[in-house]
């Protein structure tokens, strides 16, 4: 599933350009265009210039429309894809994009300048040539080749700003992890409805199917908020509440949503027609959204409920379940269990069961944690730290007789009263013990944990050694940092920083999570 925003936008623009061209031809072939022709003939005769409808009206209008359209296609099909896929440095990529921006702006201004030369719209105050007027009053076309360049640059710059916003939103959707399918579904639904929304009035205006302004008023005032209310209810309010009956809380939110979005329609009407609207339509529109659109949306939602809930919620549950299963399988693997049991057995013989009892207690605490707290979405940091300390203690028992191994822990529990997703820190420690210990060489592991009012800061450093074929743990890959990133995206999207890699002959993993303290 891909975001179809760009595709749907090109469809809308191409349709509007095509219908505008058709409308110009059909409109000016009728008597309604006779005024422009008569006015043009008189103005041209007064200035001793022969008037031609095709050369002085139709072709200049079509030419400017074509220039606009070609520049639009160039920006969307060449400039933006080239910039996004560029392997060059950022400075060069931005320079090439800016060069295209300036060039396209000049070509746009030059195209309007050339069309003005043939149309001479200044003879009749730019009547019928509204697109020309955007570039300024030009009574000496082609004598100033840069005429209108500043305004063209502003127009292209404004559209490029919109493109930047569009591409950023698409980028965030593509990087939204498990929420990506649901957000793509919403985006494609919105853009599809917008295609339909603009197509209907465009067809009606082009072919003069409806000549009553009141019908268009009703369309903009009622249909535009209907689309917004439908999207909001289908993908937010209904899935979030999962209502069975219309309780007071749900009805309250529903009333507020419909009341706010009712005003969207009149805004569309005023922007596109510059004509006022009857304020009495607002209560009628609001009642229509509440009493007609909402029940119909509810019925449509029930038919698609399973798919919507699957994309919005089940994906999260599935990811969490998969991650939990991988944790259960990886954290206490058979090799680790046998190591611990053998260590406890040797310790019992050597120290008469004191360390054995301590080890068994720590192992029992870890097992209880994995069978209990591990299945919660969030647990107190104290529980996560306790599990972390137990794991480190057991690993220290396993390697305590090796002198060239150094284990340093600096776990500061002060201010660590946050909530955290369970077993989020242990994979870094597990990887350190797995890859950072070599009994035959100098090895070290350094673990640091600090908390403040808003952040959890966790860092693990370990020596690096290549994995050998006889490594007993080579078949147990552990949870992996990629899976950790998936869990972070699941619970802390845009709220964490994760960096890891080899630095100065040691592997460094650093995790910073933005979260708030639990207040009593």
Query: What's the number of CA atoms in the CB half-sphere (13 Å) around residue 289?
Result: 31
CATH number, domain 332-514: 3.30.565.10
Q: Mean of the per-residue pLDDT values for the chain?
A: 79
Q: What is the pLDDT of residue 475?
A: 47
More confident residue, 345 or 185: 185
Residue-wise pLDDT tens digits, 368-378: 666 556 567 78
Q: Is the Cβ–Cβ distance between 324 and 422 less than 8 Å?
A: no
More confident residue, 423 or 6: 6
Strand partners, 463: 506
Q: What is the pLDDT of residue 211?
A: 79
Segment 427-440 mean pLDDT: 87
Q: What is the pLDDT of residue 245?
A: 47
Q: Is the Cβ–Cβ distance between 463 and 506 less than 8 Å?
A: yes
Q: What is the pLDDT of residue 32?
A: 40
Q: Is the Cβ–Cβ distance between 231 and 193 less than 8 Å?
A: yes
Dist. CA 378–CA 166, nearest whole Å: 34
Tokens of residue 357, six digits: 């009892």
Q: Is the Cβ–Cβ distance between 473 and 434 less than 8 Å?
A: yes
Dist. CA 496–CA 103, nearest whole Å: 41
Give 328's pLDDT tier (boundaries 50, 70, 90).
very low
Judged against a pLDDT cut of 90, whether residue 512 lies above it is answered with: yes
Residue-wise pLDDT tens digits, 183-215: 888 899 889 988 888 888 888 887 778 877 778
Strand partners, 361: none
Give 27's pLDDT tier (boundaries 50, 70, 90).
low
The label of the residue with tokens 């150094």 reads 406
How open is the CA angle 25-28-34, to the nearest 5 degrees? 170
- Is residue 188 exposed (0-12), middle (13-18) or buried (19+ Cβ within 10 Å)? middle
Q: What is the pLDDT of residue 165?
A: 94
b (16+ CB within 10 A) / e for 389-410? bbbbbbbebbbeeeeebebeee
Residue-wise pLDDT tens digits, 48-99: 888 887 888 888 989 999 999 999 999 999 999 988 887 777 788 889 889 9
Q: Is the Cβ–Cβ distance between 267 and 225 less than 8 Å?
A: no
Phi (first) and psi of residue 61, to 5 degrees: -65, -45
Strand partners, 419: 380
Classify 113 in phi/psi space as left (phi over 0), alpha (psi -120 to 50) or beta.
alpha
Judged against a pLDDT cut of 80, whether residue 179 lies above it is answered with: no
Strand partners, 513: 456, 496
Domains in the chain: boundaries: 1-207, 212-313, 332-514
DSSP 144-190: STTTTHHHHHHHHHHHHHHHHHHHHHHHHHHT-GGGHHHHHHHHHHH
Dist. CA 144–CA 450, nearest whole Å: 67
How far separated are the first and last CA of the chain, in Å rounded?
Answer: 45
Q: Which residues contact 102 (CB under 8 A, 6 or more apart)?
A: 153
Dist. CA 461–CA 447, nearest whole Å: 7
Give 332's pLDDT tier (boundaries 50, 70, 90).
very low
Residue-wise pLDDT tens digits, 472-511: 445 444 456 777 888 888 788 778 999 998 888 899 999 9
Q: What is the pLDDT of residue 256?
A: 83
Secondary structure letter of residue 230 according to DSSP = H
Query: What's the number of CA atoms in the CB half-sphere (13 Å) around residue 363?
Result: 20
Judged against a pLDDT cut of 90, whether residue 315 lies above it is answered with: no
Going by their DSSP bridges, the two strands 496-503 and 506-514 should be labelled as: antiparallel
Dist. CA 121–CA 124, nearest whole Å: 6
Q: Is the Cβ–Cβ distance between 359 and 400 less than 8 Å?
A: no
* Other CB atoms within 10 Å distance of the CB of residue 519: 5
Judged against a pLDDT cut of 50, whether residue 31 lies above it is answered with: no
Predicted TM-score (pTM) above 0.75: no
Q: Is the Cβ–Cβ distance between 399 and 347 less than 8 Å?
A: no
b (16+ CB within 10 A) / e for 194-203? beebbeebbe
Dist. CA 96–CA 86, nearest whole Å: 10
Give 160's pLDDT tier (boundaries 50, 70, 90).
very high
* Other CB atoms within 10 Å distance of the CB of residue 178: 19
Q: Distances in Å between the alpha carbon of 92 and those of 96, 153, 162, 500? A: 6, 21, 22, 29
Going by their DSSP bridges, the two strands 443-451 and 506-514 should be labelled as: unpaired
189 closest CA partner among 4, 327, 400, 438: 4
Judged against a pLDDT cut of 60, whether residue 382 lies above it is answered with: yes
Dist. CA 225–CA 260, nearest whole Å: 9
Give 353's pLDDT tier (boundaries 50, 70, 90).
low
The label of the residue with tokens 């994760």 reads 498
Residue-wise pLDDT tens digits, 289-313: 888 888 888 888 888 776 776 666 5
Judged against a pLDDT cut of 50, whether residue 442 lies above it is answered with: yes
* Packed helices 354-371 and 315-331: angle between N→C axes, nearest 10 degrees: 160
Lowest mean pLDDT among 102-116, 256-270, 385-399, 442-456: 256-270
């Amino acid at each position: 599933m891909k975001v179809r925003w760009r595709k749907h936008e090109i469809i809308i623009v191409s349709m509007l350009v095509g219908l505008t061209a058709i409308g110009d031809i059909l409109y000016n072939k009728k008597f309604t265009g006779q005024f422009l022709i008569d006015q043009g003939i008189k103005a041209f005769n007064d200035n001793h210039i022969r008037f031609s409808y095709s050369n002085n009206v139709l072709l200049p209008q079509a030419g400017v429309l074509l220039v606009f359209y070609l520049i639009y296609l160039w920006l969307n099909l060449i400039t933006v894809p080239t910039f996004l896929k560029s392997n060059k440095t950022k400075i060069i990529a931005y320079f090439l994009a800016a060069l295209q921006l300036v060039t396209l702006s000049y070509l746009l201004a030059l195209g309007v300048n050339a069309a003005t030369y043939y149309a001479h719209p200044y003879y009749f105050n730019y009547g019928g040539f509204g697109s020309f007027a955007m570039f300024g009053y030009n009574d000496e076309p082609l004598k100033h080749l840069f005429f209108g360049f500043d305004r063209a640059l502003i127009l292209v710059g404004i559209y490029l700003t919109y493109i930047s916003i569009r591409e950023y939103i698409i980028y965030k959707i593509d990087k939204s992890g498990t929420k990506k399918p649901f957000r793509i579904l919403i985006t494609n639904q919105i853009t599809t409805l917008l295609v339909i929304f603009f197509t209907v009035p465009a067809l009606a205006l082009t072919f003069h199917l409806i000549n009553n302004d009141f019908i268009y008023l009703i369309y903009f005032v009622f249909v535009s908020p209907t689309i917004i209310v439908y999207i909001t209810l289908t993908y937010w309010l209904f899935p979030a509440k999962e209502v069975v009956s219309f309780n007071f809380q749900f009805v309250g939110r529903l009333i507020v949503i419909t009341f706010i979005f009712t005003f969207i329609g009149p805004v569309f009407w005023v922007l596109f027609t510059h004509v006022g609207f009857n304020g009495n339509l607002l209560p009628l529109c609001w009642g229509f959204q509440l009493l007609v659109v909402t029940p119909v949306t509810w019925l449509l939602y029930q038919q698609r409920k399973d798919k919507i809930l699957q994309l919005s919620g089940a994906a999260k549950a599935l990811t969490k379940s998969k991650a939990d299963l991988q944790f259960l399988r990886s954290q206490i693997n058979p090799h680790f269990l046998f190591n611990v049991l053998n260590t406890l057995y040797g310790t019992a013989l050597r120290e008469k069961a004191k360390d054995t009892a301590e080890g068994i207690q720590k192992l029992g605490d870890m097992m209880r944690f994995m069978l209990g707290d591990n299945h919660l979405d969030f647990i107190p940091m104290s529980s996560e730290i306790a599990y972390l300390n137990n794991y480190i203690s057991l690993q220290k028992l396993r390697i305590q007789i090796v002198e060239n191994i150094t284990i340093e822990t600096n776990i500061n529990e002060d201010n660590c009263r946050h909530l955290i997703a369970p077993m989020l820190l242990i994979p870094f420690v597990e990887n350190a013990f797995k890859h950072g210990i070599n009994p035959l060489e100098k090895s070290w592991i350094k673990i640091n944990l600090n908390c403040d009012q808003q952040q959890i800061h966790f860092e693990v450093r370990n020596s690096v050694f290549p994995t050998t074929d006889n490594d007993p743990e080579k078949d147990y890959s552990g949870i992996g940092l990629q899976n950790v990133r998936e869990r972070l995206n699941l619970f802390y999207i845009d709220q964490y920083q994760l960096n890891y890699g080899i630095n100065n002959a040691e592997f460094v993993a650093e995790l910073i999570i933005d979260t708030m303290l639990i207040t009593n």
